[in-house]
Structure 1
Amino acid sequence: MANTILSSGVRNNLLTLQQTAAQQSIIQNRLATGKKVNSAIDNPVNYFTSMGLNDRATQLTGLLDGMSNGIQTIQSASKGIDGIIKLVNSMQSTIKQAQSDAAQNRPTTTGTALVSTAEKIATNKSLKDIALDKAIVNDNGADADAATASYAGNIGVAAPAAGTAGKMLAISIKAGDNAYEATFNAANMTVRDIVNEINKSGIATAFVDEKGQFNVKGTGSETLQFGFGAADITAANPAAPTDTELETARTAALTNSKDNDATTPLNSNAALGLASNSYDVGTTASNVTSAVRSNLIQQFNDLRTQIDELAKDSSFNGINLLAGDRLSIAFNEKTGTNQTKLDIQGTVVSAENLGISQAVNTQLDGLFNFQNDNDLDKATNALNGALTSLKSLSSTLGSNLSVAQTRQDFTKELVNTLKTGADNLVLADPNEEGASLLALNTRQQLSQTALSLASQADQSVLRLFGG
């Protein structure tokens, strides 16, 4: 078949139409897909760069789910800690109720009456006031002189020996692991002064009751030991004893306060109407049990059990940071040493681990005896320690939560940046492409007109053969 011979003008215009049609097809494809680079043929550098950016964005998007689960796991543990703190606060309230209950089992040492009815008649004062006003040391030549209308009386501690610088008095108190000692010059000392000195100790209180009896009572439930002693102040110059001589007298008085041998004349418990062996033997708590404290035991133990139960229920998606589980949150798509992640090692939270023991009604090692004031103090300290530990753990979880949320927000923004960057490399500008297509349509129309004119020029040759 012979090739059709086209004139140069027709062929040029035809080529232009073909090129315009090809460009129109490309622009129409861009408008249809929204991309100016649809394959590596269009622009290999932009195409593969965009693909890499999109791949990374896709991988990071997948990690966002893990971050979200990790954040919820931390929040679940944090909420658990908040709940446990509330339970511990309730336990503190229980302890305070037990402590505010009037203790019925505090050890008390009660002496015999220091006064008589005759003294009350003679002085026209109450037995209590008569006893409190009596001098300690025998200052009237006889033992335990009675009070009269003109004389306060004394409780009969032997007067200092002739040639000495006076009398040194001492008290020794012990309650459980706590002890208190004090010494003072006996000159002008009264029973009231002894009461005030004991009340300074913090571990015991003293008072004279309406019967004129001297009482010493423990502030806690531990065995109470009380001793009252005296010693002469021996001095080379009785008018001006030296510090060393005074210290010697103090040591002797303290020794005598603890020496409960009835034959020791300077042990003065008996002068206060107390048993001479009250320091060595001590006074233990009575067997009276407070019903209020007993009722609070079950409440305390129920709250303690709930600590363990709440900790067990603080899991999310099978991970419980309050049960010692480990949480790992990946922050990038890499592996090995190039991977960035947050590892959180959980802690086993339980009443036992927090140092909160069970409450009981008797004295047992390692448990809180609600009938014992010292054990209640120990329970208070244990709860305070538990709160400190819980708040520290809560702070750690809060810090980890902040890191995880910050990385989650960063990853979302990074994914958006990657996708934007990838799109910038391959996406078409619809306005620009639309304008280009319109220009090509116009060019196509012009090319068709030019082709028509070129064809008309060829047809003019036929007129030469016309009749």
Structure 2
Amino acid sequence: MATVSVSSGVRAALGSLASTKTEAQQAQYRLATGKKVNSAVDNPVNFFTSASLNDRASQFTGLLDGISNGIQTITAASKGIDSITKLVGSLQSTIKQAQNEAAANRPTVAGTVALGNQAEATATNSTIKDVALNKLVQGTVAAATAGTPGNAGLAAASTTIRLTAATPTATTFDIAITATTTVRDLVEGINKSGIATASVGSDGKLSIVGTGSDALSVDVGTGVGAAFAASATNAAESALLIGTADVTAAVQAGSSATRTSLVAQFNDLRDQIDSLAKDSGFNGINLLGGDKLSITLNEKTGTNKNKIDVQGDLLSSASLGIGKANSLQTSIAGEFSLQNDNDLNKAADALTNSLSSLRATSSSLGSKLQVVQTRQEFSKDLINTLTAGADNLVLADTNEEGAKLLALQTRQQLSQTALTLSNQADQAVLRMF
């Protein structure tokens, strides 16, 4: 086959046209893919570096799901603690309401004998109450007159009146009685005891009421402290002052209907704490149920792996030290009496401690949550940095590539024009024949 030769002008025009076409195709491909490096052939260093950066960014993107679930798990536990804290606050209100309903729940030694009467009041130009308060405690029974205060009739051999409150550890208070001690002195002494309060009514009767709901007894005897000995005629002696045959045996407190009605309310709130704690889980993990949460924070393995562990607490009314309430006069194992003042005080203290424990747990979870949220933001920023770095290595500048394509198209048109001109020169030779 014969070889056809072309002129140098035509050959140059063809070469320029082919080069321009190749460059234009490359520019079009870059514009279509958005990348200037589409394979290792284009730029092996940039291609593999970009792939490595994108791979790490992809791994962190996968970790974000676990971090997000971890945040929701901690948040669910934190919300649970907030709600439990409100329930404990309601329990405190219930205890305070029970404490305010104490008046009907006090052991009372109600006097039935009048220490004064109207005749004495007329003789002394005073009230029956004042007659009773001014009488001497010791001595033979005697009516008050214009010149004498009268006498309640306590034997001179009885020199002490002892009050005993039946707390878990019995508390006693001794009031010394002398020949000059008046009923007023006795009342003031009882009121200073902290165990009971005493008063004389307008009818002249002496009444003693315990300051707490613990059983109260009143003994007449001799000696003070460990040397106290009850009088053999205690019942008769007590009857002279109070009219009660025997108050050596402890007088029990009454039951408050209001306090009884609060028992169910308290226990219902207590049960809600347990239910709420059990419902504070997320995705199968409950930090208030004692579960452990592990959150992976980086893509590495082995000793280079970074993770955070959040150990939950087994939260319940029992673990918070909140016992069950009952309406008995005394507490039993695992329960406390809503009728008993001492038990109410202990319950109030226990609830205060529960709130402190909840705040500590909430603070710990809050600290862990802040760390995880910080790592989440860091991971998002790092993903953006890695992706931007990878894109800088392989992405094309569309403005540049568009301008280049436009220039190449212009060059292609000029090359075609040059090829036409070269052909015309060859045709001019042909016209010579």
TM-score range with shorter-chain normalisation?
0.7 to 0.9
- 2:357 is the alignment partner of 1:389: yes
Change (3 A) 1:187 1:65: farther
Equivalent position amino acid for 2:382 in 1: L
Which residue number corresponds to residue 43 of structure 1?
43
Equivalent position amino acid for 2:271 in 1: T
Q: Deviations over 1:187-222 (max 9, x none)?
A: 976433443343244332222234434333212221
- SS of residue in 2 equivalent to 1:371: coil
Instruction: Work out whether residues 261 and 276 of structure 1, in 8 Å CA contact, stay in contact via their aligned partners in 2.
Output: no
1:156 Cα deviation from its structure 2 partner = 7.1
- Quick one: which amino acid aligns to residue 123 of structure 1? T
- Give the 3 Å change call, closer, same or farther, for CA 171–50 of structure 1 in structure 2: same
Matched residue, 2:318: 352
In structure 2, distance between residues paired with 1:294 and 1:169: 37
Q: Conserved in 1, the CA contact under 8 Å of 2:175 and 2:186? A: no
Q: Render the CA deviation track for 1:220-250: whole Å, top value 9, x for unaligned.
A: 22132456778xxxxxxxxxxxxxxxxxxxx
**Counterpart residue number, 1:289:** 255
When structure 1 is superposed on structure 2, of 353-362 and 125-134 the one drifting more is 125-134
> How far off its partner does 1:354 sit?
1.6
Q: What amino acid is the match of 1:284?
A: V
SS of corresponding position for 1:351 = coil
Alignment match of 1:323 (pick from 289, 301, 310): 289
Displacement of 1:388: 2.3
Q: Residues 458 and 228 (structure 1 numbering): CA distance in 2 closer, same or farther, change over 3 Å?
A: farther
Structure-1 separation of matches of 2:388 and 2:176: 89
- Counterpart AA for 1:259: A
Q: Which of 91-100 and 25-34 deviates more?
A: 91-100
- Secondary structure of 2:309's counterpart equals strand
Aligned residue number for residue 131 of structure 1 = 132
2:301 equivalent to 1:335: yes
Aligned 8 A contact 2:221 2:230 in 1: no
Counterpart Cα distance in 2 of 1:3 and 1:184:
146
Q: Shift of residue 180 of structure 1?
A: 6.2
- Of 186, 195, 219 in structure 1, the residue corresponding to residue 211 of structure 2 is 219
Spell out the pairing of 1:410-429 with structure 2 (5 A cutoff): 410-429=378-397
CA distance in 1, matches of 2:224, 2:243: 17
Q: Which residue of 1 aligns with 2:187?
A: 195
Tell me how far apart the structure 1 counterparts of residues 151 and 337 of structure 2 sit (CA, whole Å): 43
- The answer on whether the counterparts of 1:113 and 1:211 sit within 8 Å (CA) in structure 2 is no
C-alpha distance 196-376 of structure 1, shift in aligned 2 (>3 A): same
Q: Any unmatched runs of 5+ in structure 2?
A: none
For residues 35-434 of structure 1, the aligned pairs below 5 Å read 35-110=35-110, 113=113, 115-117=115-117, 118-134=119-135, 143=140, 146-153=143-150, 173-176=164-167, 177=169, 179=171, 181=173, 190-226=182-218, 253-255=224-226, 258-262=228-232, 281=248, 283-286=250-253, 288-362=254-328, 363=330, 364-434=332-402
Distance 1:188 1:36, change over 3 A: farther
Deviations 1:317-344 (A, max 9, x none): 1111111111122222222332222211
Distance, in Å, in 1 between the alignment partners of 2:170 and 2:62 is 64
Total equivalences in the alignment: 426
CA contact (8 A) 1:170 1:182 kept: yes
Q: Could you say if the C-alpha distance between residues 52 and 203 of structure 1 is closer, same or farther in structure 2, counting changes exceeding 3 Å?
A: farther
Q: Is the 8 A contact 2:199 2:208 kept in 1?
A: yes
- Check whether the contact 1:115–1:146 (CA below 8 A) recurs between aligned residues: no
The alpha carbon displacement at 1:378 in A equals 2.4
Counterparts of 2:176 and 2:45, CA distance in 1: 99
How does the TM-score come out when normalised to structure 2? 0.85
Contact conserved, 1:67 with 1:330, CA < 8 A, in 2? yes
Q: Given that residues 175 and 189 in structure 2 are in contact (C-alpha distance below 8 angstroms), is that contact kept between their aligned partners in structure 1?
A: no
| Identical pairs, percent | 56
Shift of residue 36, structure 1, vs aligned partner: 1.0
Q: Which residue of 2 aligns with 1:235?
A: none
- CA–CA distance in structure 1, aligned partners of residues 429 and 193 of structure 2: 138
The structure-2 alpha-carbon separation of the partners of 1:89 and 1:459, relative to structure 1 and needing over 3 Å to count, comes to: same
* Matched residue type, 2:129: K
Contact 2:173 2:195 (8 Å CA) reproduced: no
TM-score (norm 1): 0.79
Letter in 1 for 2:97: Q
The amino acid of 1:224's aligned partner reads: L
Further displaced range: 320-329 or 122-131 = 122-131
